């Protein structure tokens, strides 16, 4: 928790203390007060800025001078580019060829250098590691690093301050950085809170890891939720998540699209990954105790895709 509190101090003036808003459709569906933690309000449109800035801010002057590299489907890449620009260092981002155009453009707009490198998180990581070795760059992992987890944990720290009566916290999971951060804070400060993870049916890597007792790698991952497609949960993140998470809810593409529409009707523009928690709650896939908070992880969605989803 000391690392989390230090991260919160480092992020002052950089990350936004995002809104916590009640969502009437969810409250009516669940019969309890339901709130959304609106991380799409962050300067890069997603929670990832918390971990990326915290990690890069702790590099030595010589490491920053060398530059940083990461591998990302989009939001972490934008966060690394944003943080590197603020801290005065070069940033290279290895992205999938199928990355949403808005996320590729976001990395470039923020001064990041985009390299396209493979369809899976594993191939992108291998490409990033190769470039890092060639050019002397420092790797900023997307989730499986203590500095990243501590940064992402500041989101849940804010939630506990904004909603002291919270009974259930619903968190999307890709590689597990945001969820591991949530589990860290809940275990230390409010262990009675029920933490529920949400992942796509087509990328159920946490479910597989919990069944096996250790991280396992999926053969493939497919979902509208492009930010939740790592083939495996992180080793570090899983070790933090496993003892704390109460349940995992699965959502399909139809449910994700429906949640994007519902949130749009309430005035929120959210990407499918960001709508995953709302999708699970709307589908009745989460057992809730008391007031529930669902983290909306991001809002970076291409216009054409968004308009198709909201009809």
pLDDT over threshold 80, residue 121: no
pLDDT digits (tens, 9 = 90+) for 136-182: 999 999 999 999 999 999 999 999 999 999 999 999 999 999 999 99
The pLDDT, as a whole number, for residue 98 is: 83
What does the alpha-carbon distance between residue 84 and residue 57 come to, in Å, rounded to a whole number? 9
pLDDT over threshold 90, residue 240: yes
Please give the structure tokens belonging to residue 105.
Answer: 């453009």
pLDDT over threshold 80, residue 60: yes
What does the alpha-carbon distance between residue 248 and residue 144 come to, in Å, rounded to a whole number? 19
The pLDDT, as a whole number, for residue 117 is: 84
pLDDT digits (tens, 9 = 90+) for 15-28: 999 999 999 999 99
What does the alpha-carbon distance between residue 303 and residue 155 come to, in Å, rounded to a whole number? 27
pLDDT digits (tens, 9 = 90+) for 23-49: 999 999 999 999 999 999 999 999 999
Using DSSP, state whether 25 is helix, strand or coil.
helix
What does the alpha-carbon distance between residue 182 and residue 157 come to, in Å, rounded to a whole number? 8
Catalytic annotation, residues: 48, 297
The pLDDT, as a whole number, for residue 287 is: 94
pTM: 0.95
Mean pLDDT over residues 50-54, rounded? 98
Name which of 186, 183, 185 is nearest 206 in CA terms. Answer: 183
β-bridge mates for residue 35, sequence order: 22, 293
Cα radius of gyration rounded to whole Å, the chain? 18
């Amino acid at each position: 928790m000391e690392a989390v509190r230090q991260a919160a101090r480092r992020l002052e003036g950089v990350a936004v203390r995002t809104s916590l808003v009640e969502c009437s459709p969810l409250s009516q569906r669940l019969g309890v007060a339901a709130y959304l933690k609106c991380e799409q309000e962050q300067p890069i449109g997603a929670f990832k800025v918390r971990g990326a800035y915290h990690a890069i801010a702790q590099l030595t002057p010589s490491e920053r001078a060398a530059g940083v590299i990461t591998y990302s489907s989009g939001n972490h890449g934008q966060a690394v580019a944003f943080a590197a620009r603020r801290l005065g260092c070069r940033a290279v981002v290895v992205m999938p060829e199928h990355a949403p155009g808005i996320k590729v453009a976001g990395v470039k707009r923020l001064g990041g250098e985009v390299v396209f490198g493979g369809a899976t998180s594993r191939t992108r990581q291998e490409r990033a590691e190769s470039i890092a070795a060639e050019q002397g760059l420092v790797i900023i992992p997307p989730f499986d690093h203590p500095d990243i987890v501590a940064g992402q944990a500041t989101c849940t720290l804010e939630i506990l301050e904004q909603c002291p009566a919270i009974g259930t916290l619903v968190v999307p999971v890709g590689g597990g950085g945001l969820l591991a951060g949530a589990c860290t804070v809940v275990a230390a400060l409010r262990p009675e809170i029920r933490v529920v993870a949400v992942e796509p049916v087509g990328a159920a890597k946490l479910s597989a890891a919990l069944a096996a007792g250790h991280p396992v790698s999926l053969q493939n991952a497919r979902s509208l939720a492009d930010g939740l497609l790592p083939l495996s949960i992180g080793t570090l993140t899983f070790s933090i998540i496993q003892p704390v998470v109460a349940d995992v809810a699965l959502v399909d593409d139809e449910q994700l699209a429906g949640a994007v529409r519902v949130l749009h009707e309430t005035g929120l523009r959210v990407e499918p990954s960001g709508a995953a928690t709302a999708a699970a709650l709307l589908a009745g896939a989460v057992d809730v105790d008391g007031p529930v908070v669902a983290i909306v992880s991001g809002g970076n969605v291409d216009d054409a895709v968004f308009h198709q989803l909201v009809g």
